[in-house]
Structure 1
């Protein structure tokens, strides 16, 4: 049995295909790359990070989350999550020259959150005792 709330209708599929075709007609590959470079340079300068690193983060995020391509092309980098590098599929250089994998960082954050929740639960059990 499927959950109807998560099913895509044929009409929604055709609408999405039409929007993608419209974007493709509006921008060719060179224009898309130039747009990514402009957005990366603009946002990188404002955030005081390198434009090349920012462009890599954008490409990494969009490769893993293609549903965000259209919003990005229509509205710019502010349509993407603030921590977009955490949601990508490419590695990056971390401190000390180590190569960092986004999936490893995501897992480490989840483990840390679970540990914090466990600590909170243990602390609340200790304070809620009736004696």
Structure 2
């Protein structure tokens, strides 16, 4: 069972790198690039939209949303581009993933605003 989970995670990571390479390819339509860039950016982001410390929901994005996003993105990209990007992705996997701190900062900002709003509402309720 553990081997299957590790293989699934490795395959997911491989697909993220394939999509990362595909975003830069000129043969990919603009709408597919936009969608794929969003999926890749979120997957590479150091911060999740739903933090992992929240029981069950914290891992929901990692287990369900990201794979669904990958599947949709792969269907939008021409097969020839995917096959070309597979080679590039294998090389990139050896070197490590790029990190997108801009998207991570935006997610932290969103959570910060949610927390500030909650604090204001609690303060008003008790005042």
**TM-score category (smaller protein):** 0.3 to 0.5
Report the TM-score when normalising by structure 2: 0.40
Query: Larger C-alpha radius of gyration, 1 or 2?
Result: 1
